[in-house]
Structure 1
Amino acid sequence: MQEMQNKFEALSIENEELRKQIDQTRDVVIKNKKGLEDSTRMNQEAITSANYNEQYSRKNNIKVMNFPRRENQNLRSDFIETVKRDLNVHLEERDVVAIHRLPSDKPGPKPMIVRLFSSDVKRKVMVNRKNLNNSVRISDDVTWRNMQLISKLRDMNCFESVWFYNSGVYGRLEDGLQLKFNLFDNIRIRLQHRK
């Protein structure tokens, strides 16, 4: 009987020690989980902020696709002339701050980035871009992350339209509800709650 009592006490002490270890381990896991959640939140905030800053730095930029290429081309003059002829928008030389072609593996003319002098100049071009007479297309210069979000929304096949406007990505449902989306939104939950 005494031997069993001793074994029981030894097991009780061992059991109590194991409980303490489990409690300590649980505390460490909870602390690490909280740290991971904080790091994830801060990482998402940093990425969101960096994306916003990058997009803001492009606010006066436009992207031009299928702009014809020729030998000894003066891109600035050709672009200004095309905008004047096709869009009926008069641009001064100073309105085009910078212009260059982007690298591309696709056949045909490489796309161009055009930095315009102000958002007013850009607005004039963007409002009239539908009047382009040939295959040249003009769009906003959108960051890679915003393009990924736009693609993700379009792939869901539940939006009537998805677009980029004024540094934001928007989607309109077939019932007319229009929502602005951020990079780390849970889109399905936003759609369920309809906000």
Structure 2
Amino acid sequence: MSQQQQITSFVSTANVGKLSATQENDDSVFNDSTLAKPKSAKRPHTCLSSDGDHEVSRLSKRIDSVEFDNANILQKNANLHKENRLLKEEIENTGRRATEAMQLSNWNEQYPRKKNIKIFDFPEKKGERLPHSFFHEISKLDVKINPSEIVAAHRIPGKHGKPRPVFVKFMRMESKISLLRNRKLINEKLEVRISDDVTKFNQGLLNRLYLHEDVTSAWYFNGHIYGTDSKGERHRFDIYDNIRQKLNS
């Protein structure tokens, strides 16, 4: 082989080896990039901003809904307070009207009884003649009452085991007053008890006054109830009065 042929063969061999080395390097690079895991892409700032705005919008709507519900509750509560106040006023007005009606009814019932008296514990006898038997007894005490002044006289229901009370209605108020002026004498001598003909409500008021520690005496006169306190001051009482407050007023 000539020298020129040897050089050409060397160059060709060198190029072939260089080319092979280059291909191997290229294959190595390709294989490495293929085996490497791809990195995840970062979320753009625009995506984060969009999600945040959506959350704020949702919370804002929720707050608006809660405020609306709260406003409704406050309005309902205000309406209930108003209804309660109106009902309370109506109850107070009804109670006041009922009290006034009962006071008027008691007065209307008491007024026709102004000329009446009741006699308790007067002995009851079979075939007795009233009121003559009673006035016969008081005539012995020099208490004179004209029988013509008596409109009615009869027994009324009383407590079991005791004589029934005697009811007497006078024609004139003066005749009743004349008898009551001698009441203490008649009560002691005949062992009876003479009292005015008062309504159930007025009798209940008298009983409360008798039992009250700050009331020294109580009585009925001309349709009204009176009492004196420990200082000797006189007060007029009504069936619905608070006795202690009345005494301090």
TM-score range normalised by the length of the shorter chain: over 0.9
1:100 aligns with 2:143: no
1:159 aligns with 2:159: no
Residues 73-114 of structure 1, C-alpha deviations (whole Å, 9 max, x = no match): 11122123233333522312x311111212123323111111
Q: Which amino acid aligns with 2:181?
A: V
- Normalization by structure 2: what TM-score? 0.73
Q: Which amino acid aligns with 1:85?
A: K
The aligned counterpart of 2:86 is: 31
For the 8 Å contact 2:115–2:169, the answer to whether it is kept is yes
Q: Offset of 1:4 from its aligned partner?
A: 1.7
Matches of 1:135 and 1:153, distance apart in 2:
24
The aligned counterpart of 2:131 is: 76
Matches of 2:206 and 2:140, distance apart in 1:
32
For the 8 Å contact 1:87–1:129, the answer to whether it is kept is no
The aligned counterpart of 2:69 is: 14
Matches of 1:117 and 1:54, distance apart in 2:
18
Q: Offset of 1:178 from its aligned partner?
A: 1.1
Matches of 2:247 and 2:97, distance apart in 1:
25
The aligned counterpart of 1:181 is: 237
Root-mean-square deviation (Å): 1.4
The aligned counterpart of 1:145 is: 201
Structure having the higher Rg = 2
The aligned counterpart of 2:177 is: 123
Question: 1 or 2, which has the higher helix percentage?
Answer: 2
Gaps of 5+ in 1: none
Q: Which amino acid aligns with 1:162?
A: A
Q: Which amino acid aligns with 2:240?
A: F
Q: Which runs of 4+ in 1 moved over 4 A?
A: none
Q: Which of the residues 183, 192, 210 maps onto 1:136? A: 192
- Normalization by structure 1: what TM-score? 0.92
Q: Which amino acid aligns with 2:200?
A: W
Matches of 1:56 and 1:148, distance apart in 2:
17
Q: Offset of 1:65 from its aligned partner?
A: 0.6
Q: Which moved more, 1:44-53 or 1:68-77?
A: 68-77
Matches of 2:116 and 2:138, distance apart in 1:
15
Matched residue of 2:169: which SS?
Answer: strand
Matched residue of 1:75: which SS?
Answer: coil
The aligned counterpart of 2:15 is: none
Q: Compared with structure 1, are the counterparts of its residues 154 and 20 closer, same or farther at alpha carbon in structure 2 (3 Å cutoff)?
A: same
Aligned residues, how many? Answer: 192
Residues 149-189 of structure 1, C-alpha deviations (whole Å, 9 max, x = no match): 11122222111111211111111111111111111122222
Residues 93-139 of structure 1, C-alpha deviations (whole Å, 9 max, x = no match): x3111112121233231111111111111011111122212212211
Matched residue of 2:208: which SS?
Answer: helix
Q: Offset of 1:32 from its aligned partner?
A: 0.9
Matches of 1:58 and 1:3, distance apart in 2:
83
Matches of 2:74 and 2:57, distance apart in 1:
25
Q: Which amino acid aligns with 1:119?
A: M
Matches of 1:191 and 1:120, distance apart in 2:
32
